[in-house]
Amino acid sequence: MKSSVITFPGSNCDRDMDVALNKFGFKNKMVWHDDNELPKSDLVVLPGGFSYGDYLRCGSMASKSKIMKSVINFAKSGGLVMGICNGFQILVETGLVPGVLLRNKYLEFICKNVFIKPANKKNLYFKNIDKNILEFHIAHNEGNYFCTNDQLKEIEDNNQIAIYYCNNKGQIEDKFNPNGSIKNIAGIFNKEKNVLGMMPHPERMIDQCLSGEDGSLFFKNLINNIKNAS
């Protein structure tokens, strides 16, 4: 399976993502933001970081960069696009997924492990995944997901919520919400479920000696799902 990771000038999780994708069997290519053409890919990843310093609004300037035109076309033609952290912020700015990401409720950058629960498994990202509750890692300042009531209704009607913040027992409550996201939302799909934006970093959870191994589970499952679908 082929994957592409887009490197913006201020991306800083691009290498981590590259390591993770390669570890679980993807043939990954790094793609520079100023390129026009996306290489043939089964998965495109917008990695974490500070794409353009994240001045103005996070992801706002990256969403206007050259390569994004190809990424948007790829997504619209049904290709799998996953945005992690800053990548999620970029997806939101391009409009590929609905909503916005505001500054964390307590106005502080948060770096820690969190538990998340996939809302449903009818998509290539979480289908067949062994666990119902996963331990992922977050590291962000602007991960407070927000949308209007109308949008929220539409999102819920279309099953676009991908993952929720919860505790280790899967309870989705306000006290397990690290950043103030509406409804504890940690990740969102587009209507077609081929585009996923999420704040947590699975690529930081791929080794027992790091923060944990639920990221390994995620990537192994993802590549299997892509293989089986093609």
Partner 1 sequence: MLVNENIAIEHGLKSDEYKKICKLLKRTPNLTELGIFSAMWNEHCSYKSSRLHLKKLPTKGKKVIQGPGENAGVIDIEDGDAIVFKIESHNHPSFIEPYQGAATGVGGIMRDVFTMGARPIANLNSIHFGSTQHKKTKNLLRGVVHGIGGYGNCMGVPTIAGQTSFDSSYNGNILVNAMTLGLVKKNKIFYSKAAGLDKPVIYVGSKTGRDGIHGASMASASFDEKIEEKKPTVQVGDPFTEKLLLEACLELMEGDSIIAIQDMGAAGLTSSSIEMASKGNLGIEINLNKVPCRESQMTPYEIMLSESQERMLIILEKGKEELAKKIFDKWNLDFSVIGKTTNSKNIELFFDNKQVAKIPVNTLVENSPMYDRKWKKTKLPKKNKFKKDVYNDLKIQDILKKILSNPNICSKEWIWQQYDHTVMGDTIQKPGGDSGVVRVHGTEKAVAASVDSSAVYCWAHPLTGGKQVVAENWRNLVSVGATPIAITNCLNFGSPENEENMGEFVECVQGIGEASKYLNFPVVSGNVSFYNQTKEVGIKPTPSIGGVGLIKDYKKMITMDFKENNNIVLIIGKTEGHMDQSLFARIILDKKNGPPPEVNLFNEKNNGQSLLSLIEKGLVKSAHDISLGGIIVALSKMCIKGNRGIKLNKAKNLINEIEYLFAEDQGRYIIEINQKDLNEVNKILDKNSVYHEELGIIIEKDMIINSKTKVSIDELKSYNTNWFSNYMSS
Partner 2 sequence: MKVSAIITLKKDVLDPQGKVIHQTLDGMGFKDVNEVRQGKYFEIDVRENDPAKAKGVVEDMCKKLLANLVIENYKIIETQ
Which residue of 20, 31, 80, 114 would you call a contact of partner 1, by CB under 8 A?
20
Q: What is the DSSP letter of 205?
A: -
Among 21, 24, 49, 163, binds partner 1 (CB under 8 A): 49
Measuring CA to CA, how many Å separate 11 from each of 1, 7, 16, 53, 192?
23, 6, 11, 9, 27
Task: By CB under 8 A, name the one of 53, 120, 121, 210 that touches partner 2.
Answer: 53
Distance of CA 155 to the CA centre of its chain: 17
Site string for partner 2, 13-52 (x = CB under 8 A): ---------------------------------------x
- The CA distance from 6 to 89, in Å, is 14
Angle, to 10 degrees, between the axis of helix 86-94 and the axis of helix 66-76?
A: 80
Structure tokens at 187: 């990740």
Out of 22, 39, 53, 120, point to the residue binding partner 1 (CB under 8 A): 53
Residue whose CB is less far from partner 1, 12 or 159: 12
Instruction: Tell me whether residue 209 is one of the annotated catalytic residues.
Output: no
Which of these is catalytic: 13, 85, 147, 166? Answer: 85
- Distance, in Å, from the CA atom of 89 to the CA atom of 187, rounded to the nearest integer, reads 11
Tell me which DSSP letter residue 185 carries: E
Residue among 27, 64, 153, 227 that touches partner 2 (CB under 8 A): 64
Cβ closer to partner 1: 48 or 79? Answer: 48
Binding mask 67-96 for partner 1 (x = CB under 8 A): ------------------------------
**CA-wise closest residue to 184 among 204, 202, 167:** 167
With respect to partner 1, which residue has the nearer C-beta, 8 or 125?
Answer: 8
The CB-side HSE value for 180 (13 A sphere, CA atoms) comes to: 18
54 lines the binding site for partner 1 (CB under 8 A): yes
Cα dist from 31 to 4, 36, 142, 195, whole Å: 6, 10, 25, 18
- Interaction between residue 61 and partner 2 (CB under 8 A): yes
Give me the active site residues, please. Answer: 85, 201, 203
Interaction site with partner 2 (CB under 8 A) = 52-53, 55-56, 61, 64-65
